[in-house]
Amino acid sequence: MFDSIAIVGATGAVGQLIRTMLEEREFPHKKITFLASARSAGKTIEFAGEKHRVKELKPEAFEGIDLAIGSTPDPVAKDFVPWAKERGCVVVDESGYWRMDPTVPLIIPEVNPDAVHDHTGVIASPNCSTTQMVVALKPLHDAGRVRRVVVSTYQATSGAGVGGQRDLINGSRAALENKDYKYETFAHPIAFNLIPQIGSHKHAGYTSEEMKMVYETHKILGDDTIRVCPTCVRVPVSNCHSESILVETERKITADEARELFASFPGIKVIDDLAKGQYPKPSDCDGDDAVFIGRIREDLSCDNGLTFWCVSDNLRKGAATNAVQIAELLVRTQAAVS
């Protein structure tokens, strides 16, 4: 057990979910500290029936802290993680800054839990769109070795933070009332629209969000020969990312076998009955920690191809849930060693 834990970015959307999960899952600890920017310091947070005052995120805040779970922008994570490490604190980091550092394991507990033994004080949690896809790929990779992935994402506005959700609501209201609206988060209107760019230009016409899916998949599965072709699109949905995924495997996996592999894999729920109109939808998956899969079928253009539809709550499994699961994995590992 970690005696003293902290949540960094405790007042943000993901930070609030992490707080809720730690409380609901009765995460073992004796003391908890909530850290945030100077702007949020001094606010009061209720946790497990007690009120706590949010402290300012600065180096000395990590004195006596054993474990920190951080959900902050990359520049903040760049600064605070070394502060924590210097004081003997283990960090589970949600930002993108440390994910591709070769000394930092990138972990999805259902996929590569053994990587937890390789940490030197920092463990990274993957990007939300990568997380749900790799959970879906793992049983297929174990059974038939994934060779190629073509994925198109339909990413909710919550992935852009609370400002993105405000843009969806206020922009939609303005559009319906035929009024102007100045978007605060998105460069283009999201109301009744699609934006086929998430992140900045990164490589050969691919965006930073798309290249995360390439690099992180290779790192988590430990196989950089897997070819990944992603297209990431922002859609006018409040929460839950959806993905259309085509997978080519080394040996043929039938749709029936894939359905069984998915159904037996931890963290996956299968909803797949086209005749009855049953398949995962964002509105049905909101608030759930699972990765939902449906529309499972064999690819008509490739002998060893499968295609399916995948939906997951990007604020939960794509962010808060995975981070808390990593923390729980650390506790179990610590207990096994002792």
Q: What percent of the chain has pLDDT over 90?
A: 96
pTM higher than 0.75 for the full model?
yes
Asked whether residue 21 carries a pLDDT value surpassing 60, the answer given is yes
Question: Which residue type occupies 324?
Answer: V
Q: What is the mean pLDDT of residues 72-80?
A: 95
Look at residue 13 in the predicted model and tell me its pLDDT: 87
Q: What is the mean pLDDT of residues 311-335?
A: 94
User: For residues 303 and 48, what is the distance between their CA atoms, to the nearest angstrom?
Assistant: 54
- DSSP summary character for residue 129: H
Q: What is the mean pLDDT of residues 115-134?
A: 97
Look at residue 334 in the predicted model and tell me its pLDDT: 77
H-helix segments, 145-254: 162-176, 208-221
Q: Which of 323, 329, 227, 333 is nearest to 20 (CA)?
A: 323
CATH number of the structural domain spanning residue 193: 3.30.360.10
- Both 92 and 107 in a single domain? yes
- Both 168 and 286 in a single domain? yes
Look at residue 335 in the predicted model and tell me its pLDDT: 67
CATH number of the structural domain spanning residue 87: 3.40.50.720
H-helix segments, the chain: 13-24, 74-86, 128-144, 162-176, 208-221, 255-264, 282-285, 321-337
Asked whether residue 119 carries a pLDDT value surpassing 90, the answer given is yes
- Both 9 and 156 in a single domain? no
**How does pLDDT run across 137-180, given as a tens digit for each residue?**
999 999 999 999 999 999 999 999 989 999 999 999 999 999 99
Pairing status of strand 268-270 against strand 146-155: unpaired
What mean pLDDT is reported for the chain?
Answer: 96
- Both 281 and 223 in a single domain? yes
Q: What is the mean pLDDT of residues 93-116?
A: 97
Query: What is the pLDDT confidence band of residue 89, given thresholds at 50, 70 and 90?
Result: very high
- Both 107 and 172 in a single domain? no
Look at residue 62 in the predicted model and tell me its pLDDT: 97
- Both 100 and 242 in a single domain? no
- Both 142 and 262 in a single domain? yes
Q: What is the mean pLDDT of residues 228-257?
A: 98
User: For residues 301 and 114, what is the distance between their CA atoms, to the nearest angstrom?
Assistant: 36
Number of domains within the chain: 2
Asked whether residue 338 carries a pLDDT value surpassing 60, the answer given is no
**How does pLDDT run across 47-74, given as a tens digit for each residue?**
988 999 999 999 999 999 999 999 999 9
**How does pLDDT run across 245-277, given as a tens digit for each residue?**
999 999 999 999 999 999 999 999 999 999 999
Q: Is 263 helix (H, G, I), strand (E, B) or coil?
A: helix
Q: Which tokens in the block code for residue 95?
A: 């930002």
Q: Which tokens in the block code for residue 142?
A: 């174990």
- Both 117 and 153 in a single domain? no
- Both 152 and 277 in a single domain? yes
- Both 207 and 286 in a single domain? yes
Q: What is the mean pLDDT of residues 86-99?
A: 96
- Both 90 and 146 in a single domain? no
Give Dmax over CA atoms of the chain in angstroms.
Answer: 64
User: For residues 77 and 99, what is the distance between their CA atoms, to the nearest angstrom?
Assistant: 11
User: Which residues are designated catalytic?
Assistant: 128, 241
- Both 300 and 327 in a single domain? no
Residues of the domain holding 184: 129-314
Look at residue 277 in the predicted model and tell me its pLDDT: 97
